[in-house]
């Protein structure tokens, strides 16, 4: 994209920040993840993988460039904008029922099946790395830890790491399946899959335990999780096998739409202040804190809220704070 306008930051990590952006040519709204060029090696690695992918359940790659802002070269990775935020955002606001959990799980698995067919391990599947579009499509995002299966690197978020990865042995496709199981527990309970963050990594690595499966979920859901959370990676089901599990057979998409319509999920750029995408360092565990207030249904009132709110949401105070960006090569 040659000319685009950078808006306010909607997520950030140790080396990169995510902003909402608008094309000056087409008016398209997208997300841009940016880092100073001198610190952009992780982001360039993410670009290398994401730019090769094309699947309905993977966040869409839009391009990249190097811009100069405040006399500093900036590496920019452009991606699809998903206005309804992450699954982690969603479970902070409402208790998901099993119909919704089944739908989201199926979308994540379809994305994982595609990645694994390409020889790619995501390495950091969790609720905060799964986005929802305006049409409720499930999109895996944040490929900062992703790698090819034959690479030796190990990374991700400790709470979602498989035992073999926590021991530093290997991190291949079964590790993503373990993380998926942890994410299903996260969606079911609204909590971390493990109760004690401080002692988690050693416990995962050497105790031979798996996260506790909630008592209140259905028998099919429990059986599904038992296939994901087998300590021996060779015994875990693959993404393809799990997509045929009975737990995913009977979710009702019509019911999901009703749930979505009755909540305060963002439905347009006016609601982007409750959208969060957090890049995390390898082996980091930084929870995403979002202030969820009641949102007005009136566009005029919503604009007024955005213009006056100082609690962390974007301040849409005219366009003086927006940056016009063009490719440094132009």
Q: Where are the alpha helices (DSSP H) in the chain?
A: 41-50, 87-93, 98-117, 163-166, 173-189, 200-206, 219-228, 239-242, 253-261, 299-308
What is the spatial distance between Cα 224 and Cα 218, in angstroms, rounded to a whole number?
10
Tokens in use for 112? 């994982």
DSSP class of 234: G
Tokens in use for 78? 């452009």
Tokens in use for 151? 């690479």
DSSP 239-261: HHHHTTSGGGTS--HHHHHHHHH
Tokens in use for 316? 């849409």
Q: Is 72 annotated as a binding residue?
A: no
Nearest Cα residue to 46 out of 120, 133, 107, 101: 120
Active site residues: 124
DSSP 25-92: TT--EEEEEEEEGGG-HHHHHHHHHHTT---TTBPPEEEEEEEEETTEEEEEEEEE--TT-BHHHHHH
SS3 for 19? strand
What is the spatial distance between Cα 149 and Cα 104, in angstroms, rounded to a whole number?
25
Annotated binding site: 33
Residues in the annotated binding site for ATP: 33
């Amino acid at each position: 994209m040659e000319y685009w306008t950078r808006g306010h930051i909607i997520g950030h990590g140790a080396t990169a920040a995510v902003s909402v952006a608008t094309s000056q040519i087409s008016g398209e709204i997208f997300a841009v993840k940016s880092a100073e060029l001198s610190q952009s090696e992780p982001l360039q690695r993410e670009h290398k993988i994401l730019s090769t992918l094309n699947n309905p359940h993977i966040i869409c790659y839009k391009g990249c460039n190097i811009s100069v802002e405040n006399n500093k070269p900036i590496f920019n990775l452009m991606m699809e904008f998903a206005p309804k935020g992450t699954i982690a955002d969603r479970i902070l606001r409402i208790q998901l029922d099993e119909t919704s959990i089944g739908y989201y799980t199926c979308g994540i698995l379809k994305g994982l099946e595609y990645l694994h067919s390409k020889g790619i391990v995501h390495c950091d599947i969790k609720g905060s790395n799964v986005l929802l579009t305006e049409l409720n499509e499930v999109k895996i995002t944040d490929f900062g830890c992703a790698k090819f299966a034959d690479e030796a690197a190990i990374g991700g978020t400790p709470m979602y790491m498989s035992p073999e990865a926590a021991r530093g042995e290997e991190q291949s496709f079964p590790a993503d399946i373990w993380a998926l199981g942890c994410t299903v527990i996260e969606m079911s309970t609204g909590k971390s899959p493990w109760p004690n963050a401080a002692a988690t990594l050693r416990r995962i690595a050497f105790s031979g335990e798996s996260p506790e499966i909630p008592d209140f979920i259905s028998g099919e859901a429990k059986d599904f999780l038992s296939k994901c959370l087998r300590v021996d990676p060779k015994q875990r089901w693959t993404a393809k096998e799990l997509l045929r599990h009975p737990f995913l057979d009977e979710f009702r998409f019509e019911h999901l739409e009703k749930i979505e319509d009755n909540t305060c999920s963002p439905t347009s750029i006016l609601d982007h202040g409750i959208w969060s995408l957090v890049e995390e360092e390898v082996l980091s565990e930084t929870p995403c804190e979002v202030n969820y207030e009641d949102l007005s249904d009136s566009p005029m009132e919503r604009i007024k809220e955005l213009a006056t709110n100082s609690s962390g949401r974007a301040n849409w105070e005219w366009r003086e704070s927006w940056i016009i960006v063009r490719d440094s090569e132009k």
